[in-house]
Structure 1
Amino acid sequence: MKTVLVFRTSVATPQQAGRLKPVLDNLMHTREKWNFDLEDCDRILRVEAFTLQAQVIIEKLNREGFFCAELED
């Protein structure tokens, strides 16, 4: 079953999101996807995945120099 993970980030520009594209694409499997909503004040990263854990995404973005925290329901 696919899970939707939602994160608050410090990614502010399309260029920064583009820089993260290969990092995030490398985490995804077939039929999984991700996107940023940079218009939102929390600069949302939304991930639809089957097995990917939130902590893995947080650690990857942190390693790239960005803040990332999962938003709770």
Structure 2
Amino acid sequence: MVEVFKTNVEQPEHSEMLIDQIMNQIPNSQINFDLEDCDKILRIEAESVSNHIIIEILYQNGYHAEVLI
């Protein structure tokens, strides 16, 4: 399963910290940010992804995320 989110993350060091937190919730997943994209894309590939958990992790760190359809 692949989920793609629009975010407002801009700094590479912040994206790395968020990736670490997401990896704690979804081990064995592949996660990356495309901070060059105008939507600051977060892409997660895993067996199962809870959109609610991802959005909550970003929110708790002061960021916004929404699922791109």
Give the structure-1-normalised TM-score: 0.86
Q: Identical aligned pairs, as a percentage?
A: 39
| Structure 1 segments (4+ residues) deviating >3 Å | none
Task: Return the offset for 1:45.
Answer: 0.1
Structure 1 residues without counterparts, runs of 5 or longer: none
Deviations 1:5-33 (A, max 9, x none): 00000100102112213211102222x21
Give the structure-2-normalised TM-score: 0.90
In the alignment of these two chains, the number of paired residues is: 69
Structure 2 residues without counterparts, runs of 5 or longer: none
Query: Within 5 Å, which residues of 2 pair with 1:1-73?
Result: 3-30=1-28, 32-72=29-69
Structure whose CA Rg is larger: 1
